[in-house]
């Protein structure tokens, strides 16, 4: 369905049902610009953070994993202690954190595989949320807010807004678009 065939009454509307509860709304026409801004902001922040770690070399997550959660009343202190004392996991994190940030940032900046990048960005922020556990100001902090930004970027299909996902989805494969031929790609594109 193209934009010209959609009734003006249904443009910019959305609805979702989870657990028997339905919520819906109507987005303002400027929403696309705000979603794009969130995608680019998080893309830049993650690319910059990852690139500085990669270029500096010698990123070491061991001390963070071993020490931070044990000192702040974290409910996952045991998990973080295990991660920090398990050599193969520390080595994995030493590569996954900086390069993950670079790849997430690049994906968001160019708008490619945005849902996949946003999922891993949200997962990373969830781990930072628990690693940086601090209830001094309640359950909501910057890490939690950034996790929600990643989820919003994914939910609103921000890769379709001046991004490569719009082109990738519509790539012709034997008379069908890529997502028509492989519908599960909608989970990583958009």
Phi, then psi, of 171 in degrees rounded to 5:
-60, 130
Q: Which pLDDT score, from 0 to 100, does residue 83 have? A: 92
Contacts of 113 (CB under 8 A, 6+ apart): 107, 159, 165, 188, 189
- Quick: pLDDT tens for 152-162: 999 999 999 99
In angstroms, the first-to-last Cα distance of the chain is: 17
Confidence of residue 1 (pLDDT cuts 50, 70, 90): very low
107 Cβ contact partners less than 8 Å away, ≥ 6 residues apart: 43, 113, 114, 116, 117
**More confident: 15 or 3:** 15
Quickly tell me which residue has 């990669």 as its tokens. 54
Gap between the Cα atoms of 65 and 156, Å rounded: 33
Give the tens place of pLDDT for each residue, 82-133. 999 999 999 999 999 999 999 999 999 999 999 999 999 999 999 999 888 8
CB atoms within 10 A of CB 116: 19
**Maximum separation of any 2 CA atoms in the chain, in Å:** 58
């Amino acid at each position: 369905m193209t934009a010209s065939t959609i009734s003006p009454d249904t443009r910019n509307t959305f609805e979702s049902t989870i657990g028997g509860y339905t919520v819906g709304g109507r987005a303002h026409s400027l929403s696309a610009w705000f979603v794009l801004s969130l995608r680019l902001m998080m893309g830049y922040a993650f690319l910059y953070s990852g690139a500085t770690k990669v270029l500096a070399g010698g990123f070491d997550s061991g001390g963070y994993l071993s020490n931070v959660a044990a000192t702040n009343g974290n409910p996952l202190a045991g998990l973080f202690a295990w991660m920090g004392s398990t050599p193969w996991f520390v080595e994995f994190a030493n590569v996954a954190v900086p390069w993950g940030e670079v790849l997430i940032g690049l994906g968001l900046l160019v708008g490619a595989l945005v849902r996949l990048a946003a999922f891993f960005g949200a997962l990373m922020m969830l781990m930072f949320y628990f690693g940086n556990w601090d209830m001094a100001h309640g359950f909501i902090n910057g890490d939690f807010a950034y996790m929600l930004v990643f989820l919003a970027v994914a939910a609103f299909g921000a890769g379709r807004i001046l991004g490569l996902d719009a082109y990738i989805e519509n790539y012709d494969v034997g008379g069908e678009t890529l997502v028509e031929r492989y519908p599960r790609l909608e989970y990583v594109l958009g």
